[in-house]
Structure 1
Amino acid sequence: MSRFTTAANLVAQDPVIAQARKYRDELGKRADEIEQLRKLPQDIADRFANDGFYTICNPVEYGGAGASPLVYAGLVEELARGDASAAWCAFIAITSAFSAANGDTPAIKSILNTPGTILSGVFAPNGRARKETVDGVEGYRISGRWAWGSGSQNAHWISGGCFILDDNDKLVMKDDGRPQHLSAFFAASDVNFIDTWTVTGLQGTGSTDYEVKDVFVPKDRAFLRFGSRSLDYPIFKFPQFGMLAIGIGAVALGAAREAIEDFQAFAGIKVPQGNRRTLAEKAGTQRDISMAEATLRQGRAFFYEALGEAWESAIDGEVSIENRRDVRLATTAAVQSAKTAVDLIYELAGGTSVYRNSPIQRRFRDIHVATQHMMVSKATYELTGRLFLGLPTDIEQL
């Protein structure tokens, strides 16, 4: 059995998880404020940064603590028990800092090693970049608009994926015939935010659109595709898309766990209309809360097992296709397990769950928005299923 399989032991022992746990009550009390603001309050975002949450997975030379993906997952899961939107912003900042480390340039290292710095960004190549030299500095002139900019309004540096154009406005292609993909980092002052984030759940993530127009980015604040990884570090052997999916799974698991506890807090007190017994005394309640608990635990167990096995492989030298497959499958399964558990709790709570003052309705909405992310969509089952069946498969997003 993997020494990393028992995630509860790891979570209990790591000091960063204990620090995240201290935020749980505050985030719960400020959940309405976060929703109404429709972005993470800056004081919370800054405190997360000062506590070292955002660079937790980065090696020391890239401003971090060199923690494992399991610690990252446990951190996000703990924050999500307080508020899913806050946890979502945290994981976006973590994965943005992790992705930035692939740039491995003096400018990017300086950004990552600046205390309190927050990064965010979107990998999708919705921008267009042209090579340009300004005052002897090589770089790119970039314009573009990106959607789903979670946490971007809290960030000091915001990235955007781009395709590169030549002097004739034609896409610059790689040897394999695909367009070259550039990731560039913009100063927050160069970014214009477009208020599009009016949604049902995860309202406090501030996942609005943003754009830049004719912004010059020096070459050392940009890198092609995933950049160049320093493979001396196990974390850089871990799959990029897997890191993104892990955050979504952890948010869902944390929100679902707290939904169950929300229900337990009043199930022994509430007497449904027309009944003499409390909710807790009803056989249907006993059945369904057991189903919710079992479903959530099953999803969580597979989630941490897959992460542990993949991390062991990274330490040993290489994360196999099978490990990468299991990480993607386990994160999607964790989100679906969390959704099923929350749906059961929402129905068990009856009319209580529909009121705005009930945290269950917020967790229900948050979970259902999380399931819409492409990294944990049901298409993941098709991707991993092809691998289980030995069929030719495009593994670029594993």
Structure 2
Amino acid sequence: MTLPTDTTVLDGATILANARAVAPVLREEAEASERGRRLTPRAVEALRSTGVFRMAMPRAWGGPEVDIRTQTEIIEELSAADGAAGWCAMIGSDGGFYTAPLEDAVARGLYPDLDMITAGWIVPAGRLHRVAGGYRLEGRWQFGSGCTHADVIIGGALVFEDGAPVLTEGRPEVRVAMLPAGEFEILDTWHTTGLAGSGSHDYTTEGAFVPAEQTFRFGDLRRRRRAGTLYAWPGMFFANLPGVPLGIARAALRSAEQILADKMLVPEMRPAREDPRVRTGIAQVHAMVGAARSYQYDVLGELWATLETGGEPSLRERAALVGAHMHTIRTCRDAVRLLADVVGSASIYRRCPIERHQRDLTTIAQHLMGQPKILEMAGALWLGVDKVLTRHPLSAEGLI
């Protein structure tokens, strides 16, 4: 395997190959990661060795600047080995996106090593109080996936001055602060249904100083300080998310087929593979997951093609992107639930991978991009209505 250093330029194909190479390690560590409610050190180093955390870093830094379809494939491959590891890889590789609106020297100061890991929540759960040269940050954020092994942590916050909210264009100003992980305290809160190994704990800080140049507004992502197709759309940092449910669903299918290869039905005492219900269920799940995957990658490909020509995504392309995310997440969850029914009682035991896959997908379906309100947003865009659901954080900040 090619181990990345700052003088090694990896491409997407190499990172994808590396992801396949470390899959056995991630599978071996999955149970321990879940038990510890954080990725094991061995799992973290396996991920880091692939180059996944640098895949959104710009070519100007020696990064690979991997296109979004290939990024999604990489995340899918890692998630097929362990959903929590894939989720942490997806979140942890966001540094290349979040540094795009920063001055280059500031960004490299935060990320002197291209394989540094990012964690944090963009939702404005904190407050940035203006002081000379920057802000004092206070707050408590949820869902800090990978925060136990992160190098840089972000936090969305409302801006205050003299105790009052700062308004920009009539709305409260929201900025995202970026700080070394040591500036935050990690709170042991991640006791959850699924993705237990992701270590998505709450985190907090009280009064940490943030230089002004280490903050940005999501509107800044549109101003193209950094060239390149990967940075041309402000919501690109979550475009690779569907790789996680797709990978988990693929792994669940593989597990189901292995179980069914030797399973005997009782009381009939005949091979499960001969049962029409089993055969029909397996075929249905393959079609559900395969169709969702094809649609997701088609949508990402069309978005990328538009951005490569310098165009602005149309309302219909944005609608497809939003709707495909929701569709992929929910379809994979429903497919694996059906798979559990096909497999039968074996799927209820903790020793069965399908049991964990179900829990992981149940948890992912509660993400912002998996919520039914996302379909309302997509439907409005399909019907030509822009500026929809402005109360939704992704819409309000112009990320959709």
Structures share fold, TM-score greater than 0.5: yes
Any conservation in 2 of the 1:106–1:220 contact (CA below 8 Å)? no
Corresponding position: 1:232 with 2:247: no
Any conservation in 1 of the 2:143–2:200 contact (CA below 8 Å)? yes
Supply the distance in 2 between the matched residues of 1:207 and 1:96 (Cα, whole angstroms).
Answer: 17
Deviations 1:108-167 (A, max 9, x none): 22323424311111111111112223xxxx121111110011111111110101111111
Any conservation in 2 of the 1:57–1:66 contact (CA below 8 Å)? yes
In structure 2, what is the equivalent of residue 181 of structure 1? 174
Supply the distance in 2 between the matched residues of 1:251 and 1:124 (Cα, whole angstroms).
Answer: 21
In structure 1, what is the equivalent of residue 43 of structure 2? 44
In structure 1, what is the equivalent of residue 335 of structure 2? 341
2:298 to 301, 305, 322: 305
Q: What SS class does the counterpart of residue 197 from structure 1 fall into?
A: coil
Any conservation in 2 of the 1:268–1:281 contact (CA below 8 Å)? no
Give the deviation of 1:104 after TM superposition.
Answer: 3.0
Deviations 1:331-386 (A, max 9, x none): 21111221121011111111100111100100011011111101121111111111
318-327 or 17-26, larger mean C-alpha shift: 318-327
In structure 2, what is the equivalent of residue 126 of structure 1? 125
CA RMSD of aligned residues (A): 1.7
Supply the distance in 2 between the matched residues of 1:245 and 1:67 (Cα, whole angstroms).
Answer: 13
For structure 2, the residue ranges without an aligned partner over 5 or more in a row are 1-11, 389-394
Supply the distance in 2 between the matched residues of 1:129 and 1:114 (Cα, whole angstroms).
Answer: 27
Any conservation in 1 of the 2:300–2:321 contact (CA below 8 Å)? yes
Supply the distance in 1 between the matched residues of 2:237 and 2:399 (Cα, whole angstroms).
Answer: 11
Supply the distance in 2 between the matched residues of 1:324 and 1:308 (Cα, whole angstroms).
Answer: 12
Q: How many residues align?
A: 378
Supply the distance in 2 between the matched residues of 1:391 and 1:323 (Cα, whole angstroms).
Answer: 13
Give the alignment of 1:3-42 within 5 angstroms. 14-42=13-41
For structure 1, the residue ranges without an aligned partner over 5 or more in a row are 1-12
Give the deviation of 1:55 after TM superposition.
Answer: 2.1
TM-score between both structures, scaled by the size of structure 1 = 0.91
Any conservation in 2 of the 1:144–1:212 contact (CA below 8 Å)? yes
In structure 1, what is the equivalent of residue 244 of structure 2? 251
Corresponding position: 1:57 with 2:56: yes
Any conservation in 2 of the 1:238–1:311 contact (CA below 8 Å)? no
Give the deviation of 1:238 after TM superposition.
Answer: 2.7
Distance change (3 Å), C-alpha of 1:102 and 1:55:
farther
Supply the distance in 1 between the matched residues of 2:344 and 2:149 (Cα, whole angstroms).
Answer: 37
Any conservation in 2 of the 1:80–1:87 contact (CA below 8 Å)? yes
In structure 1, what is the equivalent of residue 367 of structure 2? 373
Give the alignment of 1:307-326 within 5 angstroms. 307-321=300-314, 322-326=316-320
Supply the distance in 2 between the matched residues of 1:286 and 1:296 (Cα, whole angstroms).
Answer: 16
Supply the distance in 2 between the matched residues of 1:187 and 1:96 (Cα, whole angstroms).
Answer: 12
In structure 2, what is the equivalent of residue 101 of structure 1? 100
26-35 or 38-47, larger mean C-alpha shift: 38-47
In structure 2, what is the equivalent of residue 262 of structure 1? 255
Supply the distance in 1 between the matched residues of 2:227 and 2:104 (Cα, whole angstroms).
Answer: 17
Aligned-residue sequence identity (percent) comes to: 28
Q: What SS class does the counterpart of residue 26 from structure 2 fall into?
A: helix
TM-score between both structures, scaled by the size of structure 2 = 0.90
Corresponding position: 1:288 with 2:281: yes
Give the deviation of 1:107 after TM superposition.
Answer: 1.9
Any conservation in 2 of the 1:63–1:109 contact (CA below 8 Å)? no
1:197 to 165, 182, 190: 190
Distance change (3 Å), C-alpha of 1:117 and 1:391:
closer
